[in-house]
Chain A
Amino acid sequence: MSDTPTGGRWLRLRGLIVKESRQVARDPSSIAIALVMPIVLLLLFGYGVSLDARNIGLAVVVDGPTQATESLVASFERSPYFHVTRIADRRTAEAGLVAGDYRGVMVIKDDFTKRLARALEGGGAESAPIQLMVDGTDANTARLTRGYVEGAWATWLTLQGLTEGAATRLAVTAEPRIWFNPEVRSRNFLVPGLMAIIMTLIGTLLTALVVAREWERGTMEALMTTPVTALELLIGKLTPYFLLGMGGMGLSVAMAVFLYDVPFRGSFLVLVGVSAVFLVTALALGLLISTAAKNQFVAGQIALVAAFLPAFMLSGFLFEIGSMPAFVQGLTYLFAARYFVAILQTLFLAGTVWSVILPNLLAMVALATVLLLITARRTTKRLE
Chain B
Amino acid sequence: MPPPPPLPLVDIEGLEKRFGAVTALDGITAAIHPGRMTGLVGPDGAGKTTLLRLVAGLLRADGGRLSVCGADPGTDPERVHEAVGYMPQSFGLYEDLSVAENLSLYADLRGVVGDARERAFDRLLRFTGLGPFRTRLAGRLSGGMKQKLGIACAMVVKPRLLLLDEPSVGVDPVSRRELWAMVQDLVADDIGVVWSTAYLDEAERCDAVLLLDRGRLLHAGPPDALTRRMDGRTFILRAPPDKRVAQARAAATAGVLDALIQGPHVRLVMAQGAAPPDGAHPTPPRFEDAFVSLLDDDAAPHAPLATPTAPVADPGEGDVVTAQGLTRRFGDFTAVDDVSFAVARGEIFGLLGPNGAGKSTTFKMMCGLLPPTAGTARVAGIDLGHAASAGRAKIGYMSQKFSLYGDLSVGQNLAFFASVYGLKGQARKQAIRGALEGYGLDTYAKANARTLPLGFKQRLSLACATLHRPPILFLDEPTSGVDPLTRREFWGRINALAADGVTVLVTTHFLDEAEYCDRLGIVFRGRLVADGVPDALKARFRTADTPEPTLEDAFIALIEAEGREDAEAAA
Complex interface bits, A3-42 against B, C-beta within 8 A gives 1, otherwise 0: 1000110011011101100110011000000000000000
The answer to whether A15 touches B94 (Cβ under 8 A) is no
Interface of A is mostly: helix
B531 at the A/B interface (Cβ < 8 Å)? no
- A383–B58 CB distance below 8 A: yes
Rounded to whole Å, the gap between the CB of B97 and the closest CB of chain A is 6
Closest approach, in angstroms, between the C-beta of A119 and any C-beta of chain B?
74
Query: Which residues of B54-105 are within 8 A (CB) of A?
Result: 56-60, 77-78, 81-82, 84-97, 101, 104-105
Residues of A within 8 A of B154 (CB): 222
* A228 partner residues in chain B, CB cutoff 8 A: 109
Q: Are B96 and A11 in contact (CB under 8 A)?
A: no
A226 contacts partner chain B, Cβ-Cβ < 8 Å: yes
> Quick check: is A177 within 8 A (CB to CB) of the other chain?
no
Which residues from A are CB-within-8-Å of B114? 1
- With A12-B109, A22-B101 in contact, is A219–B60 under 8 Å at CB? no
Q: Confirm or deny: B540 has a beta carbon within 8 angstroms of a beta carbon on chain A.
A: no
Q: A218-B90, A222-B86, A382-B58 are in contact. Are A22 and B96 (CB under 8 A)?
A: yes
Shortest Cβ distance from residue A265 to the other chain B in the assembled complex, whole angstroms: 43
Would B110 and A226 count as touching, CB distance under 8 A?
Answer: yes
Complex Cα gap A222–B53 (Å): 11
**Are B58 and A226 interface neighbours, CB within 8 A?**
no
**A70-106: which have CB < 8 Å to B?**
none
Q: Does A223 contact B (CB under 8 A)?
A: yes
**Does A23 contact B90, Cβ atoms closer than 8 Å?**
no
Q: Say if the beta carbon of A134 comes within 8 Å of chain B.
A: no
Contact of B109 among A15, A26, A27, A221 (CB under 8 A): A15
- Pick from A14, A22, A223: contact of B97, CB under 8 Å: A22
Contact check, B97 vs A23: say whether CB atoms are below 8 A apart.
yes
* B106 adjacent to A226 (CB under 8 Å): yes
Given that A3-B111, A219-B92 are known contacts, is A15 also in contact with B105, CB under 8 Å in the complex? Answer: yes
Asked if A173 is at the interface of the complex by the 8 Å CB criterion, the answer is no
User: Across the interface, do A225 and B56 meet the contact criterion of CB distance under 8 Å?
Assistant: yes
- B113 contacts A by Cβ under 8 Å: yes
Q: Is the CB of A219 within 8 A of B93?
A: yes
Complex alpha-carbon distance, A26 and B140, angstroms: 14
Q: Which residue from A3, A7, A22, A225 sits with its C-beta under 8 Å from B84?
A: A225
Q: Kindly list chain B residues whose C-beta atoms are within 8 Å of the C-beta of A218.
A: 88-92
Q: Which residues of chain B are near A26, meaning CB under 8 Å?
A: 96-97
CA A126 to CA B270, docked complex, whole Å: 116
Q: From the candidates A3, A7, A15, A224, name the one contacting B104 in the complex (CB within 8 A).
A: A15
A19 contact set on B, CB distance < 8 A: 94, 97, 101, 105
- A138, CB-defined interface residue at 8 Å: no
Query: A381: CB under 8 A from chain B?
Result: yes
- For B81, give its contact among A11, A221, A226, A384 (CB under 8 Å): A226
Known: A224-B58, A381-B58. 12 other contacts (CB 8 A): A1-B114, A11-B108, A12-B108, A15-B104, A22-B97, A218-B88, A218-B90, A218-B91, A225-B56, A227-B109, A227-B110, A382-B58
| 3 interchain residue pairs of minimum CB distance | A15-B108, A222-B92, A218-B90
